[in-house]
Structure 1
Amino acid sequence: MEKKRSDAEAEVRFFESSEELSAGLADYVHGVSESALRERSSFSLALSGGDIPERLGKLASLPYLRTVDWSKWHLFWAEENVVPRKHPDSFYLQAKQHFISKVPIQPAHVVPAGHETPGEAAADGYEFSIRQQVKNRTVPASPSCDCPRFDLVLLTLGPGAEVSSLHPNHPVLREGSQWVAPVSVAGERRERLTLTLPVINAAANVAIVASGSDVARAFCEAMVDRRPLGSSPAQMIRPIDGKLVWFVDAGAASLFSGGGAIASASSS
């Protein structure tokens, strides 16, 4: 059963199970796409890694398979590992296996991020692709960033309050002019590309998926505990002229009470 909670800054949708969350997310993505296509001739969706590709597999089933206007969908990546497309760590490959190969999206509308070229060259190449495909713009989220306006950006919440590949206190959180940035995080083997905060916050819609007990504290802190700037990237997701919706299952909500308090704030 889905329950909703609305705040001044975001809507939070609670689900009893991860499976119900996936079903609710599919309905939501479908609804956002239909709304976008009533206004223009395309729908632009930026995906994260994690479990987002698998959850989108719900859209490959009825009724979505027949009712979605797939010819007008354009897929992008909020984050991507800099690996070959056929590498198991490629978010593109994961999305292809669970979702893209099962729906009639036009191959030319699946916009790849840099897969083998490292560093700034990969970021610049992906930014160029976005400029060619996303013509809609919004009021800049920062004075130096004339940002694209994605119709929807899908993110996942990590245990450290990271979203996309934006990690706490990472220098890329201060990036104000680039649309795409390379990210190297201590302890991780691979470099990634990530959309920057101004681009994410310029989207018409942003959804963050919080699933599992390992993100319960990060979710609570994102909801009610104002953290020092940069220590909780999830709290920095604030669309400037759009909507933010959280999708939260029972595990992620296990420390969260309806009154907005952290149920186990004193625990480590």
Structure 2
Amino acid sequence: MEHITEVKIYKSPKKVYNAIAKSIIKLTQESQQKAFDIALSGGNSPKGLFKKISKKYKDEIPWKRIHLWWGDERCVSPDSEQSNYKMTVDYLLSNIDIPEENIHRIRGEEDPEQEAKRYSKELEDTLNSRGKDPVFDLIILGLGDDGHTASIFPDQIELFDYPENCAVAQHPISGQKRITLTGNVLNNANRIYFLVTGENKAMRVSEIMNDNEAAKLLPAYYIAPTNGDLIWFLDEEAASLIS
């Protein structure tokens, strides 16, 4: 796939987390920008990364200049065990010294449609833009077993062409509502890191990497930054079926 800049494969999940952490340190330390905007992934994927940063690298990242956003959020309260924000507080935010105003959470407890509009506007008002869309310096994404990324699911691939920055999505099985960044914003980023570990992801990874017909049904296949780099960080298990 011509829009993938690089695929990096590591022996274990821990080595994946370490590599991404070091890459974030390098990016943020070398950046001259007053604000460096990062959108975080939810779910289980980033827990190990957040732990690694908290334990080993928390003093090497210039948090005063880092602004943290989310790629998606479940429509639940911020103290719910299902909240991506709460997971980030537990594993990262509670361990680092970052100004409160640098944390831009999606308010999962609010009316979903209204909150998608509000977050869209906050992105527009705060981030740099390229064309009509806001620009993230870095977006970290995970990959679901079903090929979803952020909260764009296989039955909602049209969210890649959605005109607004954020949309309300629905989990195809549980019916739970979520707020997600849409394709225009995702693909306008300066760089995207896919963090994917585990054997259960191997099939989807191979479909995408081998450009199979089946991949066209997977939202993650459509992550293709127009002006940026796309780097996959995989462990050996997740990469085991790439031909």
Question: Quick check: TM above 0.5?
Answer: yes
The 5-angstrom pairing of residues 1-268 of structure 1 reads 9-35=4-30, 37-38=31-32, 40-50=33-43, 51-62=45-56, 64-134=57-127, 136-139=128-131, 146-170=132-156, 172-227=158-213, 231-256=217-242, 261=243
CA contact (8 A) 1:54 1:99 kept: no
- Counterparts of 1:172 and 1:117, CA distance in 2: 24
Say if 1:17 and 1:174 are closer, same or farther in 2 by CA, change over 3 A: closer
Unaligned stretches of 5+ residues in structure 1: 1-5, 140-145, 262-268
- Counterparts of 1:80 and 1:19, CA distance in 2: 25
Shift of 1:8: 5.7
Root-mean-square deviation over aligned CA pairs: 1.9
Shift of 1:76: 0.3
TM-score relative to the length of structure 2? 0.93
CA contact (8 A) 1:173 1:230 kept: no
CA contact (8 A) 1:162 1:168 kept: yes
TM-score relative to the length of structure 1? 0.85
- Counterparts of 1:65 and 1:171, CA distance in 2: 36
- Counterparts of 2:222 and 2:157, CA distance in 1: 14
Say if 1:88 and 1:180 are closer, same or farther in 2 by CA, change over 3 A: same
Deviates more, 1:192-201 or 1:120-129: 120-129
- Whichever of the two has the greater Rg, that structure is 1
Residues 190-249 of structure 1, C-alpha deviations (whole Å, 9 max, x = no match): 211110011000000101111111110000011012436851211111100000000101
CA contact (8 A) 1:74 1:109 kept: yes
- Structure with more relative contact order (C-alpha pairs < 8 Å, separation 6 or more): 2
